[in-house]
Structure 1
Amino acid sequence: MDIFKNSDLKELIADRNAPCVSIYAPTQKGGKGLDLSHWKHLLENAERQLTAWNCPAEQRDSLLDPAYSLLKDEEFWKYTSEGLALFIAPEFLRAYRLPFPFAEKTQVSHSFYIKPLIPWVQDDGRFYILALSQNHVRLLEATRHAVHELKPGAPTSKAEANQNHEHENLLNLHTHHDAAGKAMHAVFHSQGGDDTRKKELLHFFQKIDHSICGYLGNSQAPLIVATVEYMLPIYREASKYPHLLNQGIAGNPAHWNATELQSRALPLVEPIFEARTTKAVAKFHEWAGSGLTTPELDVILPAAKQGNLQSLLLVPDQDIWGNYDAQTQTVEVHQTPEPGDAELGNLAAIYTLQHNHAVHSVAPQKFFDGSPVVGVYFYAGLNNAQSRAKRVEKNSV
């Protein structure tokens, strides 16, 4: 199984030379023979679509030969999960074995088809788990579907954090003076007291937090600490990470592997991710009829391209095929896909994500009009939305 992260999505939505081939297939763990037959069928479909694109045979073979070679790669199929996603473009190839049962799909277009992946990274659906004990420190990155360990360069134990710590900081040596200012004697505070133990832990946690904050940078993903209960408030005191959750996972994390930590953390972060989509849908309902929401692709695509959409709401399994001319801002919709077509909701999602704005995958019943794609504007986009809508209305008369 592979890890799919926001950085992978950013790579896929970058502008590329066409043709861009996207292939999705359901798979079974361990590489069953049925997976290979599905894979061959989808590659043959991609070959037919490339031919319909008038793609020269030499370029077609150059694009698809690495994908065909996967049929003979036994190691690759040993580590399949529930779904496989492959993306091919000139001088570009990425394959992801993911625990998500994709429906079979092959598309050749000017950009990659990324709609099935949006639930993976929806609302930046990523979080971190700090498994913390005095003798072992692990930082994990997780999503709803996957988890893996990171190497932030933080101390891996209290002993490592304190090995270069100066002796006087541990013993807290103080020199007392009499009223005349003369030195009297030195007093050593024992390391055995609760206050001293807390200071040692605080120092240890500050070193960990400093490394983690530097490693995560400007990430807005939640961080959940898994540790014994009395250490949780001490770490919260030490931490400067702005998205540290108040609630942690109480217990000894040495007893849990990465998957167990992920399953214990999910109930803490799911409400955060769900709240973002719920808020976006509520805003759509609140602003409906105000000129700040629209299901019209003539309006959505230019606004998304210009970065004027606060969010885009998509029904993931409902496609709209056609073409969009960014120069003239005109949309042509087809009942069935034709060679060279784009899935227009997918294109709107790419434009929106390229501006680092939110795309939400939602159920069909979330919308009043049953549209498979809805754009929600920023307040600042009101005039642009209204003027564009008027032009479309005028042209339709």
Structure 2
Amino acid sequence: MLMEAKPTPGVSLYLPTHVRGAETRQDPIRLKNLIAEARQSLESAGLKPRETDAILDPAVALVEDNDFWQHQDIGLALFLGDAQTHTYKVPIAFDQKVAVGPAFHVTPLLPLLAADGAFHVLTITAQSVRLFEASRFSMVEDDAAGLPGSVDEVSGQPDYENPLQASPVGRPHTGAINITKSQVSGESPEDWRKANTVEFVHRIAVELERHLARHRLPVVLIADAEIQGHFQKLSDLGPLLAGVVETNPESRDVNALHAAAYDVVRPMFEEGRRRAVDHLAALLGSGEAHATLDAGEIVKAAHLGRIETLMLAEGAELRGRFDEATGKVTMGGEDAAERQNLLDGVAAQVLRHGGAITIVTPEEMPNGAAAAAVLRF
């Protein structure tokens, strides 16, 4: 939605924020300073004070909204224009930035959409099962997974009972009560518990595999040693089970669980990014026409749907203008229409045409380029 918007003009504000503590007091001051910078840019572009106020007033109101600042993530992005305000609290620590132009500046958000870094986190205890959709930044619980909620749901009986070993007074009437085979045979409480745990974990494995059928993403399991052992024996996930964290998940908060899980998948994702960089370097080294570092060619190829993989350096920008009617790319420029970040439009076109985006460090990019592309044709 942000990529498709054509505000006249639009203001994009990025700032780092704090979740708690005395440092939260700095955040509204940062926003106030960014608003002042945006106001200057808008007035320099020829807007009247009344027009500038109409765009910036929603952000001005947030400066004095104390409750708003008490519920933040580590980054805040605001998009203002065409009588609309879009506010996003995100798990990315932005540098402070103001962008004013005919489109919203969205590339700082692209790490959230990058092709690498998506995985699932599964936590299991006898009392609770949770599945999370995760990235390298955060994770959110998936409430639609349909997994069993606890071992009691599977056993249908919360407590172990052995009516045949009970005293005559304490022995329940058996005529109208359904007693499990294990109880009648005198199975021990520990054997009964193990059998129900195995069935519980088996049900989880089956439902998880069904849930993941359409989105084959890696899974990190967080559970104690016993449950982990059962899951690895009963699951058919194979290589999709990226690894395990042996701990009681109820002893940690969500942030700690995410950090532990990402440590498991980090090497895999870093290897994926390394392979992408190596593949690009090999194509460039061979003179292969299906790879390019040329900024103008990348801009034009994106609008033609030719980019299979777009690789961007973190924080990269390409300032200029693209004329869709003529296909002409002009780099640089002084007026407001030419100061837009061309990578915003490139990223939008790549995603619209089903391409992938990979974010790498500036040091990983060949020749220090801001962007590179592997082309379909």
Please classify the TM superposition score into its range, dividing by the shorter chain length.
0.7 to 0.9
Counterpart in 1 of 2:255? 259
Counterpart in 1 of 2:57? 65
Q: SS of 2:367's equivalent?
A: coil
Pair 134,36 (structure 1): closer, same or farther in 2 beyond 3 Å: closer
Partners of 2:104 and 2:34 lie apart in 1 by 16
Pair 33,203 (structure 1): closer, same or farther in 2 beyond 3 Å: closer
Counterpart in 2 of 1:171? 181
Q: SS of 1:96's equivalent?
A: strand
Could you tell which deviates more after superposition, 198-207 or 365-374?
198-207
Could you tell which deviates more after superposition, 360-369 or 276-285?
360-369
Q: SS of 1:154's equivalent?
A: coil
Read off the aligned partner of 1:88 and give its amino acid letter: L
The Cα offsets for residues 313-369 of structure 1, whole Å up to 9 and x where unpaired, read as 222334221111223221011155734532122322222223342222223333443
Question: What's the TM-score, normalizing by structure 1?
Answer: 0.76
Q: Identity over the aligned pairs, expressed in percent?
A: 26
Q: SS of 1:247's equivalent?
A: strand
Partners of 2:351 and 2:238 lie apart in 1 by 24
Q: Alignment partner for residue 12 of structure 1, among 2, 17, 38?
A: 2
Q: What runs of 5+ residues in structure 2 fail to find an aligned partner?
A: 159-176
Counterpart in 1 of 2:271? 275
**2:345 corresponds to 1:347:** yes
Q: Residues 292 and 372 of structure 2 are in contact (CA less than 8 Å); yes or no, is this contact kept in structure 1?
A: yes
Q: SS of 2:369's equivalent?
A: coil
**2:31 corresponds to 1:39:** yes
Q: Alignment partner for residue 82 of structure 2, among 79, 90, 94?
A: 90
Q: Alignment partner for residue 329 of structure 2, among 328, 331, 336?
A: 331
Counterpart in 2 of 1:157? 150
Q: How far apart are 1:239 and its partner, in Å?
A: 4.3
Q: Residues 321 and 337 of structure 1 are in contact (CA less than 8 Å); yes or no, is this contact kept in structure 2?
A: no
The Cα offsets for residues 223-261 of structure 1, whole Å up to 9 and x where unpaired, read as 211112232243245546687415211233232222222
Partners of 2:117 and 2:194 lie apart in 1 by 34
Q: How far apart are 1:73 and its partner, in Å?
A: 0.8
> How many equivalent pairs are there?
353
**2:354 corresponds to 1:362:** no
Pair 169,339 (structure 1): closer, same or farther in 2 beyond 3 Å: farther
**2:8 corresponds to 1:21:** no
Q: SS of 1:374's equivalent?
A: strand
Q: How far apart are 1:205 and its partner, in Å?
A: 3.1
Q: Residues 140 and 258 of structure 1 are in contact (CA less than 8 Å); yes or no, is this contact kept in structure 2?
A: no
Q: How far apart are 1:170 and its partner, in Å?
A: 5.8
Pair 364,17 (structure 1): closer, same or farther in 2 beyond 3 Å: closer
Q: How far apart are 1:196 and its partner, in Å?
A: 7.3
Partners of 1:281 and 1:20 lie apart in 2 by 34
The Cα offsets for residues 62-97 of structure 1, whole Å up to 9 and x where unpaired, read as 432221110111011123354322123436433233
**2:295 corresponds to 1:297:** yes
Partners of 1:336 and 1:313 lie apart in 2 by 27
Partners of 2:123 and 2:344 lie apart in 1 by 38
**2:109 corresponds to 1:117:** yes
Partners of 2:182 and 2:99 lie apart in 1 by 67
**2:125 corresponds to 1:127:** no
Partners of 1:213 and 1:246 lie apart in 2 by 14
Q: SS of 2:330's equivalent?
A: strand
Partners of 2:209 and 2:143 lie apart in 1 by 13
The Cα offsets for residues 128-178 of structure 1, whole Å up to 9 and x where unpaired, read as 22110112222334333334444334332110233399x9996389xxxxx
Counterpart in 1 of 2:370? 372
Counterpart in 1 of 2:222? 226
Pair 266,352 (structure 1): closer, same or farther in 2 beyond 3 Å: same
Partners of 2:60 and 2:315 lie apart in 1 by 27
**2:38 corresponds to 1:49:** no
Q: How far apart are 1:285 and its partner, in Å?
A: 0.7
Q: CA RMSD in A?
A: 3.4
Partners of 2:50 and 2:236 lie apart in 1 by 55
Q: How far apart are 1:42 and its partner, in Å?
A: 1.3
Partners of 1:208 and 1:337 lie apart in 2 by 59
